Amino acid sequence: MRFLYFAVFTILFQTCPMFGQNKKISINELEKALSASVFRLTNYINYCGTADVDNATKESVLDLILEEFTEGATMEVSNVFTQDVKELPVKKYFRNLIYLTETEGYSIIFFTYSKIKISNLSKGVGNRYTATGEFTQTFQAYRKKTEVYGDITVKFAELYIWVNGNTFEAKFGNTKVISTRKLVKQ
């Protein structure tokens, strides 16, 4: 039943059009479209971040996650203790995340994202645009009901936009870590 609610929710968000303005994209509309994308990503990850989701469902959700990114996109991941940063293919990055309940024994993982701040919007060839976006990602992991880990990471993403008439599609490209710090419990 829980998956049915998730599936209906996902279908509703994937069928909502994102509007452009006669082949000219406004930053405001792009931010709305990317906010919808981030909202979907957050829901996908948080749904898979519970211990009771089976592997087949997680793999189906991973396919939905990958639709939000350009082919070949990478995601940097950072270690809050060593400040080491490494680059992973997006598929590997998100597969690692959605299986943390098994690999690290967490009972739940939880993500939140800030609004994306768009900059450097420029027209490319034909109906293509590029931009960059900065956002903050908060990650929390729990064992039973106790938070055992949390971090806040500021990220910088390449953004790709394709305009088709009065609609457009926006996807994330390579995403870099700007900074990471441990989340301090209040």
Would you give per-residue pLDDT tens digits along the chain (186 residues)?
454 444 434 443 443 344 333 446 778 888 888 888 888 888 888 888 887 889 999 999 999 999 999 999 999 999 888 889 999 999 999 999 888 888 888 888 888 888 889 999 898 888 888 999 999 999 999 998 899 999 999 999 999 988 887 778 889 999 999 999 998 776
Backbone angles phi, psi at 84, to 5 degrees: -65, 145
56, amino acid identity: A
Backbone angles phi, psi at 13, to 5 degrees: -75, -30
Which strand (E) or helix (H) includes residue 47? helix 27-48
Which pLDDT score is estimated for 162?
87
Which pLDDT score is estimated for 186?
60
* Sign of the alpha-carbon torsion through 110, 114, 115, 116: negative
* Helix, coil or strand: residue 61: helix
Which pLDDT score is estimated for 69?
95
Task: Name, in order, each residue with C-beta under 8 angstroms of 114's C-beta and a sequence gap of 6 or more.
Answer: 135, 136, 137
What structural domains and CATH numbers belong to the chain? 2-182 (3.10.450.50)
Question: Which pTM was predicted?
Answer: 0.80
Task: Name, in order, each residue with C-beta under 8 angstroms of 115's C-beta and a sequence gap of 6 or more.
Answer: 31, 35, 135
